[in-house]
Amino acid sequence: MIAAWNALAVVAFCRAFEVLRDDKYLGAARTTAQFIESNLYDSKCNTLHRAYSDKSRKPYIEAGVIDYVHVISAFLALYQITFEEKWLRLATALQQKQDEMFWGMYG
């Protein structure tokens, strides 16, 4: 499971829900975002992991800037359709961490 790919799926599910108004897409978006939060996000140090192994049930490999960008975007997309502040708080916290880690590296 790769953070950026899962995040892209969240955004796609959110857009599908917006267009089709089918709750299965909202459910899939929430489930996938919750997977990211539960398995790829470390709330203690506010960092992401890039990958998760089903075998070891542990995340591995530190996330890169692309992972942060897509996960932040996914959490914001979910917030925009649910107005659940949890997703906005997570997106904001990850954006602050991304700025801390990568600011100036790519600019």
48-95 pLDDT, tens digit per residue, is 999 987 777 777 799 999 999 999 999 999 999 999 999 999 999 999
Report yes or no: 77 and 14 within 8 Å, Cβ to Cβ. yes
* Token pair belonging to 102: 């990568």
Helices (H), 21-84: 23-35, 65-82
107/102 Cα distance (integer angstroms): 9
Q: What does pTM read for this prediction? A: 0.92
